[in-house]
Amino acid sequence: MNFKIRHYLLTGLLVWLPMGVTVWLLTWLVGTMDGIFLAVLGALDAVVPGMHSLAESLRHMPGLGVILVAVVIYVTGLFVTNIFGQWWLRQWSKVITRIPVVNSIYSSVKQVADTLFSGSGNAFSKALLVQYPHQGSWTIAFLTGAPGGQVARHLPSECVSVYVPTTPNPTSGFFLIMPKANVVELDMTVDDALKYIISMGVVVPGGPDALPVKTEPAPSV
C-alpha cells in the first residue's frame, strides 16, 4: 500500500514539476520585462510634464511591459541594420566609452554579447568532456574559444578556453583554460549537453534507449 502511494506521488510529481518550473521561468521573465517597463514609465513621469495620468493607467496593465519591450528590441534591431542606424550606434558607443567605470562594464558586456549571439562566433559551439575538478573526475564543458594576448604567450602548449557549468543551474560555472590535448570533443549538440547537465545526468543524450559507452580499464602503471 505504501509503495503504491509513493508510486502515485512520484508519477504526479513528474507530471507537474516540468510545468511548474516552466511557469516559474516564464513568470520571472515577465516580471523582469514589466520591471524594465515600469522603470521607463517612472523616468518619463519624472521628466515629461503631464505624463502622470498616462503612466498610472499603463502601470496597471499586466503583460504590457513584455509586449512593449519586445517591440522596442525588434524596432532597435530593424533600425541598426541599415547604414544610418549603424552610424548612430557607433556614436552611442563612443559616448559610452568615454564615461569612467561605465566604459569597462559596457565594453565587457558588449564583447561577451557579440561573441555569444553572433552567428560567426565559436562560443558554445561544441560540447566537450574534461577532467574537473581533479584528474579522474569528468564533467561536460563548452568550448568558448582560444586564449589570446598576454595569456596565450605564457601558456606552455596549445590551449582552449572552456566553460564548465554547474548543475542544475548552468548559468553559473567556471571559466578554465586547458591544454587542447586534455579535452574530448563530444558528438552531441549543445542542447543535448545542456539537458544532460540540467537533469544531473538523468536525461541521457540520444534518448532513453541510448546505451552507455564501454571503456577499457586504464592500464596499471
Selected residue with higher pLDDT from 180 and 37: 180
Sign of dihedral through CA atoms 30, 36, 37, 38? positive
Q: What percent of the chain has pLDDT over 90?
A: 10
Residue 155 has pLDDT above 50, yes or no: yes
Residue 108 has pLDDT above 80, yes or no: no
Whether 125 contacts 117, CB under 8 Å: no
- Please check whether residues 133 and 69 belong to one and the same domain: no
- Please check whether residues 9 and 68 belong to one and the same domain: yes
On whether residue 219 sits in a domain, the answer given is no
pLDDT given at position 138: 93
- Please check whether residues 99 and 188 belong to one and the same domain: no
Mean pLDDT of all residues in 46-68? 68
- Please check whether residues 98 and 133 belong to one and the same domain: no
CA-nearest of 172, 152, 170 to 161 is 152
- Please check whether residues 94 and 131 belong to one and the same domain: no
* Exposure class string for 154-191: b at 16+ Cβ within 10 A, else e: eeeeebbbbbbbeeeebeebeebebeeeebeebebeee
Choose the weakest-confidence range: 59-68, 74-83, 86-95, 150-159.
59-68
Mean pLDDT of all residues in 128-136? 90
- DSSP for 16-84 reads HHHHHHHHHHHHHHHHHHHHHHHHHHHHHHHHSTT-HHHHHHHHT-TTHHHHHHHHHHHHHHHHTTSHH
Choose the weakest-confidence range: 7-16, 88-97, 106-115, 151-160.
106-115
Question: Which residues on neighbouring strands pair with residue 129, listed in sequence order?
Answer: 140, 184
pLDDT band with cut points at 50, 70 and 90 for residue 218: very low
Selected residue with higher pLDDT from 136 and 104: 136
Residue 191 has pLDDT above 50, yes or no: yes
- Please check whether residues 144 and 109 belong to one and the same domain: no
The tens digit of pLDDT for each residue in 158-182 reads: 899 999 988 877 778 899 999 999 9
- Please check whether residues 103 and 131 belong to one and the same domain: no
- Please check whether residues 112 and 131 belong to one and the same domain: no
- Please check whether residues 41 and 83 belong to one and the same domain: yes
Alpha-carbon span 21 to 39, nearest angstrom: 27
Selected residue with higher pLDDT from 211 and 84: 84
Reduce the DSSP state of residue 92 to 3 states and report it. Answer: helix
Domain total of the chain: 2
Residue 48 has pLDDT above 80, yes or no: no
pLDDT given at position 220: 46
pLDDT given at position 87: 85
Alpha-carbon span 194 to 172, nearest angstrom: 13
- Please check whether residues 20 and 110 belong to one and the same domain: yes
Domain limits at 18? 2-117
pTM to 2 decimal places: 0.51
pLDDT given at position 221: 40
* Exposure class string for 109-136: b at 16+ Cβ within 10 A, else e: eeeeeeeeeeeeeebbebbbebebeeee
